[in-house]
Amino acid sequence: MSIFKKLFTAVRGAATEAGEAVVDSQALRIMDQEIRDAENELKKSKEGLTTVMAQKMATERQVKEKHKSIEEHEGYAVQALDKGDEGLAIQISEKIAELTNEVTPLEALLTGQASSVNQLKQTIKQTEKRLQATKREVALIKSTASVQKAQDAIAATHSGSTSAMSSAMGSMQRIKARQQEKTDKMNAALALETEGGDGDLKAKMAAAGITDSGSNGNSILEKLKAKRGGGASA
Amino acid sequence: MSKMKITLPDLASALNALDTEGELSFQAEVIEGEVPTLQVTVSDREEFPIYITIDDSQILAVSYLWKESEIKSGAREALLEALLTLNIPMPLSAFSKLGNQYVIFGALSSQSELNDAIHEVEILSDNTLEALESVSEFLQ
């Protein structure tokens, strides 16, 4: 199975009672191994590329040397002809022919090696791109798996709590009732304060059992009420 | 994936220590397990605890809202519409669903500072109440 197909099967959308997607840790382990294998292959390809490139350079050098030698001998041949030494000129020409016969296959080899280098470079580039994409996918799946576990832990913790038993609206009503109680107490304290004249309001609030967080709750409730009064959005 | 910056015990201590006038106060407790969870009780809103987990990729804070069974009959579509609409205007938090349970959550990079995490938790608590108020017409 291709590594990409495995990616999809690793996150099976099978909905359980709690609607969790199951991440197949076995499949993840296999994919991790495949990524490691692919990286090894890539490494070998790169080493192979280095080797072929070195060979190509060697061939280039040889071809260059041969051509240089041919040029030199052509020079010698002309010199020989100038001196009128045809015999020598012919010998030199034979040498040139020899050199030419040697360089031709080398040039063919060079062309082949240049082509190999280009192909290898392209393949390596493509493989690297795909490997990066695969690694990103796997990282995403792993973090999904870890979030999944976190959700499970949270669900387990929550189900043991009392808040799990009540409805959302019921809870809201209880909160509002408590806020109302605090507001009433604060109003009572304020009334006392006005009545009694001076006196530390804070002390009175404390005596009435009102803590600082009560004022916060009240102001939030007022804010919420104001928002509700502004018209509910669909 | 980089190492997380803050830990659950760090966050628990910081939340427990908060005692500013007019601000929310918390009681945070680390629940050990395969994935340790921080259970945060918010004073005056004990009905809506916040659960926090931290791993290599994110700090996740979740509050439970309502179950499918609590939605008024025929109101589900309107409710979902409302939630989607609320997602952006509501700062930092977003809605989601785990099976039959609707939740509100905030997620932070694990590289966040302690103050950012605290802020996220405070906002999450406020948003929980605000959200419930906003969609109360759709719930039983």
Residue A173 belongs to some domain of the structure:
yes
Residues A41 and A138 in one domain: yes
User: What are φ and ψ of residue B53, in 5° steps?
Assistant: -130, 150
Question: Over 60: is that where the pLDDT of B135 sits?
Answer: yes
Residue B1 belongs to some domain of the structure:
no
Residues A121 and A178 in one domain: no
Q: How confident is the model at residue B36 (pLDDT cuts 50, 70, 90)?
A: confident
Chain A: closest CA distance from residue B7 (Å)? 15
Residues A142 and A39 in one domain: yes
Contacts of A214 in chain B (CB under 8 A): 44
Residue A229 belongs to some domain of the structure:
no
Residue A232 belongs to some domain of the structure:
no
Residue A130 belongs to some domain of the structure:
yes
pTM (predicted TM-score):
0.59
Given an 8 Å threshold on Cβ–Cβ distance, is A216 in contact with B22?
yes
CA distance A218 to A179: 6
Residue B67 belongs to some domain of the structure:
yes
Residue A181 belongs to some domain of the structure:
yes
Q: Say what the pLDDT of residue A198 is.
A: 53
Residue A231 belongs to some domain of the structure:
no
* Residue where one domain finishes, among candidates A147, A162, A177: A162
Residue B80 burial class via C-beta count within 10 angstroms: exposed 0-12, middle 13-18, buried 19 and up: middle
Question: Over 90: is that where the pLDDT of B136 sits?
Answer: yes
Say which of B47, B101, B140 has its CB closest to residue A171. B47
* Residue where one domain finishes, among candidates A133, A162, A191: A162
Question: Over 50: is that where the pLDDT of B123 sits?
Answer: yes
Q: Could you list the residue range(s) of the whole structural domain that residue B121 is in?
A: 8-138
CA distance A82 to A90: 13
Q: Chain B residue with minimal CA distance to A182? A: B44
* Residue where one domain finishes, among candidates A137, A162, A187: A162
Q: Say what the pLDDT of residue B57 is.
A: 74
Given an 8 Å threshold on Cβ–Cβ distance, is B140 in contact with A224?
no
Tally of structural domains, chain B:
1
Q: Say what the pLDDT of residue B69 is.
A: 93
Digitized pLDDT (tens) for each residue of chain A, 234 residues in all: 454 454 444 444 333 333 344 456 777 788 788 888 889 888 988 999 999 999 999 999 999 999 999 999 999 999 999 999 999 999 999 999 999 999 999 999 999 999 999 999 998 998 888 888 888 877 777 777 777 777 788 888 787 777 677 888 989 989 889 889 988 998 888 888 777 655 566 677 777 777 655 556 666 677 777 777 654 444
Residue B115 belongs to some domain of the structure:
yes
Residues A70 and A173 in one domain: no
Say which of B64, B100, B133 has its CB closest to residue A158. B64
How many interchain CB pairs under 8 A, A with B?
132
Average pLDDT over residues B71-99: 93
Residues A8 and A122 in one domain: yes
Given an 8 Å threshold on Cβ–Cβ distance, is B47 in contact with A233?
no
The set of residues, in sequence order, having a beta carbon less than 8 Å from that of A141 and lying 6+ positions away, is: A7, A10, A11, A23, A28
Based on DSSP, count helices (H) and strands (E) in chain B, helices before strands.
Answer: 3, 6
The set of residues, in sequence order, having a beta carbon less than 8 Å from that of B60 and lying 6+ positions away, is: A147, A150, B52, B53, B54, B105, B106, B107
Q: Could you list the residue range(s) of the whole structural domain that residue A205 is in?
A: 167-222
